[in-house]
Structure 1
Amino acid sequence: MDGLREPAAPFVLPGPCGVAVRDRLKHLTPEDERVLRAVGAHQGALASGDLKARCADGLEHNADTWAARKRELTGVSSSRIAGAITKATHDQWALARRCQAAHIRKLAAGINTLRHRLSLPIGEKGTKRAAGGYRSKNEWFRKSRRLAALEDRHAAAVADWRAGRVRVVRGGKRLLNTRHHLTQARLTEEQWRERWETGRWFLAADGESGKRFGNETIRVTPDGEVSIKLPAPLAHLANAKRGRYTLTGRIAFAHRGAEWADRIEANRAVAYRIHLDVERGRWYLTASWKRPAVKTIPLETARARGMIGVDTNADHFAAYQLDDHGNPVGEPRRFPYDLSGSAGHRDAQLRHALTRLINWATRVGVAAIGIEDLDFTNEKTREKHGRRKRLRQLISGMPTGQLKARLVSMAAEQGLAIVAVDPAYTSRWGAQHWQKPLATPRRKMSRHDAAGIAIGRRAFGHPIRRRTAPPPHDRSDRAGHRTAQAEPGTREREGTRPPTTDRPPGGPAPSGKRKREPSASNTVRDAPRTQQWVQDSLTHTG
C-alpha cells in the first residue's frame, strides 16, 4: 500500500536486571524514630549540598571533582555514606539531563506542527497523517503567538543543555508547588512542612559484596535485626559497638524472602533504603539487589509453543491466543483495569490485570506474550491534537513505560518471554481482516480483539492478512502465495475444481460431444464403464 511505512521487526525484550522488596518496620520505640529522623535530616542536608555542587560543575565534572566532593563528605559522615550520597547525586543529575533532552524534543515537535499548520490556508482540511489549517484568523493569530513562545522556550532549553545546566528539586517539584495551594490540597502548613522535610531525607546505603551480610552501613541480619552505622556527628546516639544503632523492630520479607536470605548469608551486596510514609505514620525498609544478566532467548524459541497477542487500551487488555502457526485459538479474553484515582490505586490495578493475564498464559501453555512497543512521547502535545483534549488525556493516562517494565519482570518469574512489535496499523488491519470473519452469534469480536490477533501474528513474523488472492492465470508460480484476503464465504481453495474427464491432462477428448459419461443410477453404481481410454503407441512405423 502506498504511503504506509514499513513496520519494524519484532524483538524479544530483555529480562529484568534487578529486584526490590519492601517490608514494614514495626514496633519502633520513640527513641528509634528520633534517631532515624536525626540521621535522615543530617544526611539529607549533605545530599542537598552535594547536588548543588554537582550542578555547579555542569559539564566540567570529572574524577578529580568527584573525589574532592567525596573527601569533603567523608569528614562529616563516613566513607561509605559519602560514596552513597555522591552516587545518588550523579544518578539524579543524569536523570535531569535525560528529562531535559526529552523536553527539548517535545518542544521541537510542537514547533514543527505549528509551523506546518500556520503555513496552510485557513480552513483547509487535514488528513489522517497531518493536521489541516486553522479554522479562523483569530485562531491562526493565537497559534502564531504560541509558536513564538515555544521557540523562546526551546532556545532557552537548548542553551541550558549546551551549558550543562539542569534544574532539580530535592523533594519533588510537585510538592514544592503544593506549598502555594495548601487549601486545595487540604493541608496545613505544618503538615506540608513535615512532608517536605521527609522527602528530602537521605536514609539509603549501597550494598558491598564480601562485607558482612552484604552491607556495612545498613545491616540486616537473617533473623531480621536492623542496625545503622551513624555518621560521625551523631555517633553519641549509638547503642551498639563501633558507632552503630540497633532498632528494636524486626523485619521479615514475605516476598522473595528466601532469595534475600541466600544473598545476605553469602555476604553478597544488598542495597537498603529506609523511608517514612507521613500520611500513615509508618516506617518501611526496601531491599534491592542486582540479578545476573540472563541471555535473551531467541525469537524462534519464543514462538515455539504459540503466543498470546495483547492489545493495550485505556481501560483493559484485549488478548487472543495463537497457535505456533499464527492461527487464533479459542475465544478472546479481556482483562479490565481502572487507571483513575491515586498512583497507588493505578499501580495496583495494573498489577492485578497483568497477574491475571500471565496466569492465563501459563495455563494455556504458550511460551511468549506479544505486545505493542508503544511510545506516545510525540502524541501528547496540544499542537498534535488541537482541541481534542479528551484524546490527549486518554493517551497521557496510558502507562506504557510502567506497563512494559512490570510485564517483563512479572512474566520472567513464570518463564514467559515478551515480544515487542511495531504498533503501526495493528488496530486498523486487525479489524479489516479478522473482526468480521471471526464474529459469530455467540462470539462478539471487537476491534481490540482483532488487534490482539494482528499483534500476535506480527510477533510471529506473519502477515496480518487472513488469506490472499490466487496467483496470475498465466503462471501459477510467478507471484508466489496469496496476497489479499478472501471475502467471507469463499471456498477454502483458490478456485472451483474442474469436472473430472475421461482423458489424461492435455490429451484429446473422447469421441462424442460429452466429455464424461452420465452418472450411473444408485442401483447400478458398481457397473463397469463402457468407455475406456487407451493410450496411443509412442512408436511410429514408417
Structure 2
Amino acid sequence: MGGVRELAVPFVVPGPCGVAVRDRLGHLTSQDERVLRAVGEHQGALASRDLKARCADGLEHGADSWAARKRDLTPLSSSRIAGAITKATHDQWALARRCQAAHIQTLEAGIKMLRHRLSLPIGEKGTKRAAGGYRSKSEWFRKSRRLAALEARHAAVVADRQAGRVRVVRGGKRLLNTRHHLTQAGLTEGKWRQRWEAERWFIAADGESGKRFGNETIRVTPDGEVSIRLPAPLAHLANAGHGRYVLTSRIGFAHRGAEWADRITANRAVAYRIHLNVDRGRWYLTASWQRPVVKTIPPETARARGMIGVDTNADHFAAYRLDRHGNPMGDPRRFGFDLSGTAGHRDAQIRHALTRLIHWAKRVGVAAIGIEDLDFTAEKTREKHGRRKRFRQLISGIPTGKLKARLVSMAAEQGLSIVAVDPAYTTLWGAQHWQKPLVTPHRKMSRHDAAGIAIGRRALGHPIRDGVSPARTELRAWGRTAPPPHDRSDRAGHRTAQAGPGTRGREGIRPPTTDRPPGGPSPNGTRKREPSTSNTVRDAPSTQQWVQDSLTHTG
C-alpha cells in the first residue's frame, strides 16, 4: 500500500430539491413594458439600499436588525415585497461569505506551493507528486515577489472576513468590468447601460402555501393570466382591483406544466421572477418550487442491475456498461461535446451530451450511473502547474459543478441514481488493468474508456483490479479472497471471489512475487514446458513434462 492514499467510500448522490421552469411573456403592450420597467427600477433601488444596510451590519446582524430593515421597506412597497427583498439580500450576503472563504483557500494553496518551490534549490527536478524548484534565478526572484503579493492579498481578505466585510456588486462584477472594455465586448455604452439596469432590477416574489394560486404578489392563474401586486408608490398604474396590474400576455409552461398546474390548483407555494433579456428584447417569467426531500436508495439497490461508469473529459464522456459483478459488457460509448464559444452554447452542449448518456442508460436497463466526484479547485492554480498553461486551461474548462448539478437533476427525472466515487487512480489503474485485455480487431480502447470501467467497478463496490493471482498470499492484495478447498465437491463453489468492501489492501499495489521454491510454479502462475524433442520424429517418445500451478490444480 505504499504511496496509495486512503480512498473515499462511494455514495449515492441525493436528488434535486427544487424545480424551475421558464416561459416567455410574449405580445406585451407598450404600457405593460412601462409598468414592468417602473416596478423593476423601484424595487431594484430598494434592494440596493437594503443590501448596503446588510453589509454595514456585518457580523452584528440578527433577527432584530432583519425585522427593522423589513419595517423600513414595507411603506415603500408592501409587506410581502419587503420580505422577498430582505430574504434575497440575506442569501446574497451569505453567498458572498462562502465565496470569500473559497478565495482564502485558493490563496493559501498558492502561498503553500510558492513557499515549497522557493525552498528548493534552483533547477531541482520535481516528481509526479510534488513540483520541483524554479529553473533560473530570475524566475525564482519573480516568484518571490508574487509570494509577497499573495501574502498581502491573503492578509487583507482574512482581515475582511474577521471583520464581517464582504464586497457585493448588484448586477455582477463581470458586467461592471465590461464597462471598461466595451470595444472587446462588442457593446456600445447605451447597450451596456441597458444590460446593467436590467440586471439590477428586482421583480420577484416568494411563494406562500395556502394563498390563492400559491403567490399573492405575482399571481398566475391556471389559464395563464399574469398579474402583479404593485408597490404602494406605483399603485396609480393599476388596471385591476386591490392595486394589481394584469398583463395582456398569457403563459403556458411546456415543460412540467402539469406539475405546475397541480401546485397552483392546490394553492401550494410557487415563487416567480420576471426578467428582461436585453439582447433579444424579450421578457421571461420563471416559476420555481421546492420538492420534498426524497430519501436516496441504498447502494445495494442502485447496484442491483449493473452500472454505467462515466469518465469526464474536456471534450467527451467515456462510458462503459458493467454488470453487477463488475464485468464489462459490450463496447465503450463516447458522448462528445464542444466547450468553445458562448456560455449558452457550452451549456447546450453539456445538456445534449447528458441527454444522450441518460437515454442510453435507460435503454440498456441499468439503475445507476457512476461518476467521479471531481473538484479541481486546488488543482488549477498557476503556482502548482507553472508553465503548463494548456493543462490548466484543460482542467479549468471541465464544468464539474454545473455537470454534477445537471446530471443529478436530469437523471432523477428518468428514475436513475448517481453514484459518486473517489477519482484517485481511476485513469492510471484502468489503463493498466483493462485497456489492453479488451482490445480486439473490432474494438479500440482508449485510456478514458478503461477509466470508465474503473469508475464503474468502484461504484459497484468492487476493486479496480481483477483476475486470478498466482499465490494464495497475494490474492487478498490483488482484489480477491482466498480460493476454496482443492476438490470438486459442491461445497467448494467458485475458485475465487471478489474481496469485500472492507478487505484491507484490495485496492493496493500488487506485491511482486520473485521468490519460489526450487521446481515450484512460476511467479505469474502460467504453465511452463521444458524442451522436448522435435515433433518431426513422430515415433520418438515424448520427454515433455508439465508443471501445474497448485492454485489451478483440481485433482
TM-score higher than 0.5: yes
Q: Which residue of 2 aligns with 1:364?
A: 364
1:207-257 deviation digits (Å, cap 9, x = unpaired) = 000000000000000000000000000000000000000000000000000
Please give the alpha-carbon distance, in whole angstroms, between the structure 2 residues aligned to 1:447 and 1:307.
Answer: 19
Q: Which residue of 2 aligns with 1:238?
A: 238
Provide the secondary structure at the position in 1 that maps to 2:253: coil
Please give the alpha-carbon distance, in whole angstroms, between the structure 1 residues aligned to 2:158 and 2:65.
Answer: 25
Computing the radius of gyration from Cα coordinates, the structure with the larger value is: 1
Q: Residue 466 of structure 1 contacts residue 485 of structure 1 at CA under 8 Å; is this kept in 2?
A: no
1:461 partner letter: G
Q: Which residue of 2 aligns with 1:118?
A: 118
Q: Residue 15 of structure 2 contacts residue 296 of structure 2 at CA under 8 Å; is this kept in 1?
A: yes
1:13 equivalent to 2:13? Answer yes
Aligned positions of 1:132-147 closer than 5 A: 132-147=132-147
Please give the alpha-carbon distance, in whole angstroms, between the structure 2 residues aligned to 1:391 and 1:353.
Answer: 23
Q: Which residue of 1 aligns with 2:482?
A: 480
Please give the alpha-carbon distance, in whole angstroms, between the structure 2 residues aligned to 1:161 and 1:475.
Answer: 53
Q: Which residue of 1 aligns with 2:549?
A: none
Mark the CA change 1:88 to 1:473 in structure 2 (over 3 Å): closer, same or farther: closer
Q: Which residue of 2 aligns with 1:331?
A: 331
Mark the CA change 1:229 to 1:5 in structure 2 (over 3 Å): closer, same or farther: same
Q: Residue 471 of structure 1 contacts residue 479 of structure 1 at CA under 8 Å; is this kept in 2?
A: no
1:185 CA displacement = 1.4
Aligned positions of 1:92-171 closer than 5 A: 92-171=92-171
What root-mean-square deviation, in Å, do the aligned CA atoms of Structure 1 and Structure 2 show? 2.3
With normalisation by structure 1, the TM-score equals 0.89
1:61-89 deviation digits (Å, cap 9, x = unpaired) = 00000000000000100000000000000
1:469 CA displacement = 1.6
Q: Residue 309 of structure 1 contacts residue 456 of structure 1 at CA under 8 Å; is this kept in 2?
A: yes
Please give the alpha-carbon distance, in whole angstroms, between the structure 2 residues aligned to 1:418 and 1:147.
Answer: 41
1:362-381 deviation digits (Å, cap 9, x = unpaired) = 00000100000000000111
1:466 CA displacement = 2.2
Please give the alpha-carbon distance, in whole angstroms, between the structure 2 residues aligned to 1:474 and 1:392.
Answer: 39
Please give the alpha-carbon distance, in whole angstroms, between the structure 2 residues aligned to 1:319 and 1:105.
Answer: 33
Q: Which residue of 1 aligns with 2:253?
A: 253
Mark the CA change 1:81 to 1:462 in structure 2 (over 3 Å): closer, same or farther: same
Q: Residue 468 of structure 2 contacts residue 475 of structure 2 at CA under 8 Å; is this kept in 1?
A: no
* Structure 1: 5+ residue stretches without partners: 499-513, 515-542
1:112 partner letter: K
Provide the secondary structure at the position in 1 that maps to 2:378: helix
1:46 partner letter: L
Please give the alpha-carbon distance, in whole angstroms, between the structure 2 residues aligned to 1:337 and 1:285.
Answer: 29
Mark the CA change 1:122 to 1:497 in structure 2 (over 3 Å): closer, same or farther: closer
1:387-406 deviation digits (Å, cap 9, x = unpaired) = 11111111111110100000
Q: Which residue of 2 aligns with 1:200?
A: 200
Provide the secondary structure at the position in 1 that maps to 2:349: helix
Please give the alpha-carbon distance, in whole angstroms, between the structure 2 residues aligned to 1:342 and 1:182.
Answer: 17
1:32-79 deviation digits (Å, cap 9, x = unpaired) = 000000000000000000000000000000000000000000010000
Provide the secondary structure at the position in 2 that maps to 1:286: strand
Please give the alpha-carbon distance, in whole angstroms, between the structure 1 residues aligned to 2:182 and 2:15.
Answer: 43
**Higher mean C-alpha deviation, range 128-137 or range 465-474:** 465-474
Please give the alpha-carbon distance, in whole angstroms, between the structure 2 residues aligned to 1:7 and 1:474.
Answer: 21
Q: Residue 474 of structure 2 contacts residue 511 of structure 2 at CA under 8 Å; is this kept in 1?
A: no
1:247-284 deviation digits (Å, cap 9, x = unpaired) = 00000000000000000000000000000000000000
Q: Which residue of 1 aligns with 2:384?
A: 384
1:481-507 deviation digits (Å, cap 9, x = unpaired) = 677599xxxx9x966599xxxxxxxxx
1:471 CA displacement = 2.6
Q: Residue 467 of structure 1 contacts residue 485 of structure 1 at CA under 8 Å; is this kept in 2?
A: no
1:188 CA displacement = 1.3
Percent identity between the aligned chains? 82
* Structure 2: 5+ residue stretches without partners: 484-495, 497-505, 513-521, 530-541, 543-555
Please give the alpha-carbon distance, in whole angstroms, between the structure 1 residues aligned to 2:364 and 2:37.
Answer: 51
Please give the alpha-carbon distance, in whole angstroms, between the structure 2 residues aligned to 1:473 and 1:121.
Answer: 44
Q: Which runs of 4+ in 1 moved over 4 A?
A: 472-479, 481-486, 493-498
Aligned positions of 1:412-491 closer than 5 A: 412-472=412-472, 480=482, 484=510
Please give the alpha-carbon distance, in whole angstroms, between the structure 1 residues aligned to 2:149 and 2:432.
Answer: 43
1:483-532 deviation digits (Å, cap 9, x = unpaired) = 7599xxxx9x966599xxxxxxxxxxxxxxx9xxxxxxxxxxxxxxxxxx
Q: Residue 468 of structure 1 contacts residue 485 of structure 1 at CA under 8 Å; is this kept in 2?
A: no
1:10-52 deviation digits (Å, cap 9, x = unpaired) = 0000000000000000110000000000000000000000000
Please give the alpha-carbon distance, in whole angstroms, between the structure 1 residues aligned to 2:299 and 2:288.
Answer: 30
With normalisation by structure 2, the TM-score equals 0.87
Q: Residue 24 of structure 1 contacts residue 283 of structure 1 at CA under 8 Å; is this kept in 2?
A: yes
Mark the CA change 1:193 to 1:473 in structure 2 (over 3 Å): closer, same or farther: closer
Q: Residue 307 of structure 1 contacts residue 369 of structure 1 at CA under 8 Å; is this kept in 2?
A: yes
Please give the alpha-carbon distance, in whole angstroms, between the structure 2 residues aligned to 1:199 and 1:124.
Answer: 51
